[in-house]
């Protein structure tokens, strides 16, 4: 497999789609990670999002626990409550050293026929909900544009595939990584080595550093903040849909900077009832069909205390 040395940059702007798709193919067929620039997201909105995240994480624990994550995966996920035991990339025994707030699609009520549907769990924090909703709206539009480009990058012109994104699964996660002691065990991670399980991840991060991606040869390469850019990577479902042509690259976070680290990934995924399979036109299928909801359930139940079948922990009314 091709080795990579640098993290590529894909510029959007108003360039023709075909040109962008060619750059996308070059970046995501090899590295699977890239910086997307000229994407049109207002830098003040990104700043407001980080401000909202810092204000939320600074709240007393009981105010955060008042919106503890529920079975629909919305709310506060405290530190030491998720462990990537399904990881095939490392033997992971210690929980991730991060806390986060998770927002998903705002559904008025939970629909039992739709895994993970439900309303968000909003903290009492002035302006918080408005900023997150505005940001999620903007990133949803960017995710949709990038998804179309991704399909074009693997020569899929049939627009049917985009119907799975008419009512997408979106996740906006406000992550806080406390500094890890310099002498902490080697297998203690802010985020253990993993691949993302959906289609596209669009991440903004502060300048603390700590995100790394794994090259095909197995070395870890830093992905520092490139001001004004969004780090975009391909997840396991887009890897499958592209029949393996777009890469879902392992990554991890280790925060030994001595500083607090904040990052905000936005995950842009198909509707949970979508059957994921290599799209027509991508050749002899290398993957069997898989219902996204089934895959998500097994991933969440394995990794998160709040989703363990018998625990009932964090269940809201
Ligand atoms: O915090 C980061 O930079 C990466 C987070 C991440 O990989 C994830 O949430 O899937
Ligand atoms: Fe990730």
* Position with higher pLDDT, 273 vs 180: 273
Regarding the beta carbon of 198 and ligand 1, being less than 6 Å apart is answered no
Interval 101-121: pLDDT, tens: 999 999 999 999 999 999 999
Band (pLDDT 50/70/90 cuts) for residue 2 is low
Q: Is the pLDDT score of 270 beyond 80?
A: yes
User: Exposed/middle/buried for 76, CB within 10 Å: 0-12, 13-18, 19+?
Assistant: buried
Taking the CB of residue 162, how many other CB atoms lie within 10 A of it? 15
Q: What pLDDT is recorded for position 190?
A: 87
For residue 109, count other CB atoms closer than 10 A to its CB.
8
Mean pLDDT for 124-146 is 98
Q: Is 146 helix (H, G, I), strand (E, B) or coil?
A: helix
Distance 263 CA to ligand 1 centre (A): 7
Q: ipTM value of the model?
A: 0.99
Instruction: Examine the pLDDT at 9 and tell me if it is beyond 70.
Output: yes
State the pLDDT at residue 185: 80
What is the rounded CA–CA span in Å between residue 173 and residue 74? 10
Share of the chain above pLDDT 70, in %: 95
pTM passes above 0.90: yes
Does residue 192 or residue 166 have the better pLDDT?
166
Q: Is residue 36 part of a domain?
A: yes
Ligand 1: which residue has its CA nearest to atom 10?
196
User: Would the pLDDT of 81 be above 50?
Assistant: yes
Rounded (10°) angle between helices 43-57 and 128-153: 130
Q: Which domain holds residue 18?
A: 9-305
Q: Ligand 2: distance of its center to the CA of 208 in Å?
A: 17
Round the average pLDDT of the chain to a whole number and report it.
92
216: in domain: yes
Question: Looking at 149-153, 187-191, 192-196, 256-260, which range is the least confident one?
Answer: 187-191
Q: For residue 315, what pLDDT is reported?
A: 43
- For residues 205 and 211, is the Cβ–Cβ distance under 8 A? yes
Specify the pLDDT at position 225. 96
Task: Say which ligand is closest to the CA of 208.
Answer: 1
Ligand lying closest to the C-alpha of residue 100: 1
- Cβ(235) to ligand 1 under 6 A? no
**Which ligand neighbours the alpha carbon of 224 most closely?**
1
Model confidence at 158, pLDDT cuts 50, 70, 90, reads confident
Tell me if 313 is assigned to some domain.
Answer: no
Q: In this structure, what token pair is assigned to residue 312?
A: 């009932």
The helices-and-strands tally (H runs, E runs) of the chain is 6, 14
State if residue 151 touches ligand 1 by the CB under 6 angstroms criterion. Answer: no
Domain assignment present for 86 = yes
Structural domain contains residue 114: yes
211 lines ligand 1 (CB under 6 A): yes
Does residue 18 lie within any of the structural domains? yes
CA of 172 to the centre of ligand 2 (A): 12
224: exposed, middle or buried (Cβ count in 10 Å: 0-12, 13-18, 19+): middle
Q: What pLDDT does residue 317 have?
A: 36
Q: How many structural domains are present in the chain?
A: 1
Distance 177 CA to ligand 1 centre (A): 10
The reported pLDDT for the residue numbered 4 is 66
Going by pLDDT thresholds of 50, 70 and 90, the confidence category of residue 3 is low
Is 140's C-beta closer than 6 angstroms to any atom of ligand 1?
no
Tell me the CB-side half-sphere exposure of residue 17, using CA atoms within 13 A: 12
Which CATH number belongs to the domain containing residue 223 in this structure? Answer: 2.60.120.330
Distance CA 40, CA 138 (A): 9
The values of phi and psi at residue 177, to 5°, are -110, 115
Asked if the structure places residue 292 within a domain, the reply is: yes
Read off the pLDDT of residues 175-231 as tens digits, 9 standing for 90 and up: 999 998 888 887 888 888 999 999 999 999 999 999 999 988 899 999 999 999 999
CA angle 49, 53, 54 (to 5 degrees): 120
**pLDDT value of residue 5:** 65
Residue among 265, 268, 299, 300 whose CB has most ligand 1 atoms within 8 A, to mutate = 265
pLDDT, position 310:
65
Q: Is 310 inside a domain boundary?
A: no
**Whether the CB of 208 sits within 6 Å of ligand 1:** no
Q: Which atom of ligand 1 is nearest to the CA of 190?
A: 1
Q: Which of 92, 201, 264 to mutate to test the pocket of ligand 1 (most atoms within 8 A of CB)?
A: 201
CA–centroid distance, 212 to ligand 2, in Å, is: 10
Q: Name the residue with higher pLDDT: 38 or 188.
A: 38
């Amino acid at each position: 497999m091709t080795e990579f040395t640098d993290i590529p940059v894909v510029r959007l702007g108003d360039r023709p789609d075909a040109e962008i798709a060619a750059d996308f193919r070059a970046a995501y067929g090899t590295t699977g990670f890239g910086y997307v620039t000229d994407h049109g997201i207002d830098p003040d909105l990104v700043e407001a999002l980080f401000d909202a995240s810092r204000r939320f994480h600074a709240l007393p624990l009981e105010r955060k626990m008042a919106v503890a994550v529920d079975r629909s995966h919305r709310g506060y996920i405290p530190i030491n409550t998720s462990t990537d035991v399904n990881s095939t990339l490392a033997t992971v025994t210690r929980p991730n050293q991060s806390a986060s707030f998770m927002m998903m699609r705002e559904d008025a009520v939970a629909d039992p026929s739709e895994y993970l549907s439900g309303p968000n769990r909003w903290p009492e924090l002035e302006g918080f909900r408005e900023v997150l909703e505005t940001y999620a709206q903007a990133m949803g539009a960017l995710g949709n544009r990038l998804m179309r480009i991704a399909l074009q990058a693997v020569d899929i012109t049939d627009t049917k595939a985009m119907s799975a994104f008419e009512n997408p699964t979106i996740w906006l996660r406000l992550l806080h990584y406390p500094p890890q002691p310099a002498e902490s065990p080697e297998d203690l991670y802010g985020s253990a080595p993993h691949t993302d399980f959906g289609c596209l991840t669009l991440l903004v991060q502060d300048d603390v550093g700590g995100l790394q991606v794994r090259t095909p040869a197995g070395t870890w390469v830093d992905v520092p903040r490139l001001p004004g850019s969004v780090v975009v990577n391909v997840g396991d479902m887009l890897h499958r849909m592209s029949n393996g042509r777009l890469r879902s690259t392992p990554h991890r976070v280790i925060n030994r900077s001595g500083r607090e680290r904040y990052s905000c990934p936005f995950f842009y995924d198909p509707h949970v009832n979508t059957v994921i399979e290599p799209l027509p036109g991508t050749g002899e299928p290398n993957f069997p069909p898989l219902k996204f909801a089934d895959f998500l359930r097994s991933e969440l139940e394995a990794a998160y205390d709040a989703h363990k079948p018998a625990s009932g922990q964090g269940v809201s009314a």
